[in-house]
Structure 1
Amino acid sequence: MMKWEGVTEFVYVVDAGSFTSAAKQLGISTAQVSRQVNELENRLNTKLLYRTTRKISLTEEGRIFYQHCRQVLDGLEDAERAISNLHMSPQGILKMTAPVIFGDQYVMPVVLDYMQQYPEVEIICELTNQPLDLVHGGYDLAIRLGHLKDSSMMARLLTNRTLHVCASPEYLSRHGAPHTPNELAQHNCLVGNNSHWRFMEEGKQRGLRVKGTLNCGSGSVLVEAAIRGLGIVQLPGYYVDAAIADGRLIPLLQAYQEPKEGIWALYPHNRHQSLKVKLLVDMLATQLLSISQ
């Protein structure tokens, strides 16, 4: 126990900028704070603080010691919070956003399970394909697909997805199958939100602009159009896996397929300790794992 004595007082003095302010925050006397820090310095045989009548400042040894002690105290606070959360039930409003189709088909069923388990949480969910400003909009959580661009947010990988190029047997019997991405220029490509399809060639990512007779932001509509023989699609596996499995769609250009890309939970830094957010993200990570298989 001797090793801990004075550490909390020392960190509070540095953070508060004075012995008096630290004493007020700790609820003890200034003399007691001063005594504990003095004893800490004696035990370490090292001067940690320069003291004047106006201010205190860290010695070089004090700066190094403070950095380590601050991390230790932060870790203890996190540990106490984790134990406390075990005995708490999440409550309050959780505001989130997710892509329209993916959110409707995959995210919201998990959210409904979450609401049944934690009835004191009120969910506000905006399904949109626009990348909303989480901080300005007051959002606790966003589900994002693919490559992340917003480095100011905290992110957790929930699962992965793979993009597949495919067409129906009927289409291929009439038009033949492309053997390289460049041959897509001779085919009718059914386009979603992005008219640049992605491939890997010689170890490098390549974006290829495609065009066709249908441009629609709904993956479900594009799958149906492809099954009816109207053209070729590039879509994530969770749209086309069932149709590929039963032969209604045939995978193409597999040698040029990109590696799996992430499906992410994104949240502002001040939300990551929230119990209601953590429990929902944990549930999403568990239940969405199956779509990457």
Structure 2
Amino acid sequence: MNWEGISEFVFVAESESFTLASKKLAISTAQVSRQISALERRLDVKLFYRTTRKVALTEEGRIFYQHCRSVLDGLDAAERAITNLQSTPKGKIKMTAPVTFGEQYILPLLNNFMAQHNEIEINAYLSNHQIDLVDGGYDLAIRVGNLADSTMMAKKLGSRTNYVCASPSYITQFGTPHTLSELNKHNCLLGTLDSWHFKGDGRDLNVRVKGKLRYNSGFGLVDAALKGLGIVQLPDYYVQQYLENGELVSLLDNHRVPDEGIWALYPQNRHLSPKIRFLVDYLAAELS
């Protein structure tokens, strides 16, 4: 069978764009177009409807895509089967993680992992947005909190605790809130949300808070809390050291929500890959 143009055809069909397909394949848009045209001539059929704004499969194109996708999936499975015979993880890993948690924990662990496995290449992109792993070509994502995507494989790596806290100087000046309703008497240091999460009466609660300061930076909010400007709610990796040395005091502990999971998330066709398995197991051992 002549394989020329098959990969280009599948990528264009899935992205509905010659430009996006060329970026994924790391070739020029003109080359993608030439390969698709040659494929259509060879099959003597029109595979795509093309306009200046849209690319869509024809009926014949949809049928051909289903078969081509199955063939490429089979090739991927065959490659993974061979790779699984290797005792040493090797190859490229493209992954994503939340910005702050990634900077403080994941990237240093990746550096340690790569020092142990010199045949691994890692491309890590830090973002607080929920990235589509399949569309972006990612092998792995680190996520915190509740998981919504049931189509992915997931392994729990650890957990994090959310704290409400303030500096001793703030408490001395403005007092300690003992109930959730008392928060409206205090200056709450806000992030991107207007409500904080608590538990009460056996259920989860979202309590609307207000304040004179709003940052989309956890480090900025911690600094404000340390300087006595208000009360803050943040994950442990922002505030743990200050709680331990007494620069911040934990508040409303009886209303603290249960710890949230830290997860490794990856497409189902990656779960047998040695490089992914080794890395996920390593992260789980270090973060637990």
TM-score (norm 2): 0.69
Larger Rg: 1
1:106 counterpart = 2:91: no
Secondary structure, counterpart of 1:270 in structure 2: helix
Q: CA deviation at 1:87?
A: 4.9
1:123 counterpart = 2:128: no
Cα deviation digits, residues 3-25 of structure 1 (max 9, x gap):
xxxxxxxxxxxxxxxxxxxxxxx
1:281 counterpart = 2:283: no
CA contact (8 A) 1:154 1:267 kept: yes
CA distance in 1, matches of 2:138, 2:279: 14
Change (3 A) 1:95 1:87: closer
One-letter code of the match for 2:153? M
Secondary structure, counterpart of 1:184 in structure 2: helix
Q: CA deviation at 1:261?
A: 1.2
Cα deviation digits, residues 50-94 of structure 1 (max 9, x gap):
xxxxxxxxxxxxxxxxxxxxxxxxxxxxxxx79x85852222210
CA distance in 2, matches of 1:268, 1:217: 30
CA contact (8 A) 2:225 2:232 kept: yes
One-letter code of the match for 1:206? L
CA distance in 1, matches of 2:193, 2:108: 26
Secondary structure, counterpart of 2:254 in structure 1: helix
Change (3 A) 1:149 1:254: same
Ranges in structure 2 where 5+ consecutive residues have no aligned partner: 1-80
CA distance in 2, matches of 1:90, 1:194: 41
Cα deviation digits, residues 180-206 of structure 1 (max 9, x gap):
112111111112233321100011000
Matches within 5 A, 1:257-272: 257-272=256-271
CA distance in 2, matches of 1:142, 1:182: 37
CA distance in 1, matches of 2:89, 2:279: 10
CA distance in 1, matches of 2:214, 2:201: 29
CA contact (8 A) 1:144 1:264 kept: yes
CA distance in 2, matches of 1:90, 1:124: 16
CA distance in 2, matches of 1:86, 1:244: 48
Matches within 5 A, 1:1-293: 85=84, 87-289=86-288
CA contact (8 A) 2:98 2:142 kept: yes
CA contact (8 A) 1:90 1:121 kept: yes
CA contact (8 A) 1:101 1:218 kept: no
CA distance in 2, matches of 1:116, 1:194: 39
CA contact (8 A) 1:199 1:256 kept: yes
One-letter code of the match for 2:279? L
Q: What's the % identity of the aligned pairs?
A: 52
Secondary structure, counterpart of 1:200 in structure 2: strand
One-letter code of the match for 1:271? R
CA distance in 1, matches of 2:112, 2:85: 19
Q: CA deviation at 1:238?
A: 2.0
TM-score (norm 1): 0.68
Ranges in structure 1 where 5+ consecutive residues have no aligned partner: 1-80
CA contact (8 A) 2:84 2:273 kept: no
Secondary structure, counterpart of 2:129 in structure 1: coil
CA distance in 2, matches of 1:97, 1:278: 16
Cα deviation digits, residues 237-274 of structure 1 (max 9, x gap):
22211111111111100111111110110111111111
One-letter code of the match for 1:156? K
CA contact (8 A) 2:84 2:272 kept: no
Secondary structure, counterpart of 1:263 in structure 2: strand
Alignment RMSD, CA only? 1.8
CA contact (8 A) 2:225 2:231 kept: yes
Q: CA deviation at 1:98?
A: 0.3
CA contact (8 A) 1:225 1:231 kept: yes
Secondary structure, counterpart of 2:131 in structure 1: coil
Cα deviation digits, residues 90-110 of structure 1 (max 9, x gap):
222100000001001100001
CA contact (8 A) 1:163 1:235 kept: yes
